[in-house]
Amino acid sequence: MTLLKIFAIVFGATGFWKLIEILLQFRTQKRLKNAEINNLNTQANSLIIENYKLWTENMDTRIKELENKNTSMGKTITQYRSRIIKLESNNAEMNLTITKQRDRITELESEIQEYKKAKQ
């Protein structure tokens, strides 16, 4: 009987220690997986931040290019506006000249009509 008790104690002790060892391994594996997941999350976040930085830098350069283009377009528009104003003033002068010439033509036509009537 004592041999059976000793055998039971030894078997129980080794089984108990094996159970403790399995629980410790499970716990360390769980911590390792959590640490790997946290590491992957950190890497993914750093990649997202780097991509965002590159995107913002590219957008900054693009905005500067567009602002420069906008400035040059503003200058061009200003030049065309001044040209349009000059052309409009020339057009007004020409319209005035045409009106004067029409008046003179009608005046001359009326003189011709009077001359023709006087000649008959």
Taking only the tens place, the pLDDT of each residue in 42-90 is 999 999 999 999 999 999 999 999 998 888 898 999 999 999 999 998 8
pLDDT for 60 equals 94
Tokens standing for residue 80: 């065309």
Between residues 10 and 107, the one the model is more confident about: 107
Burial 44-71, CB ≥16 within 10 A → b, else e = eeeeeeeeeeeeeeeeeeeeeeeeeeee
Q: What percent of the chain has pLDDT over 70?
A: 93
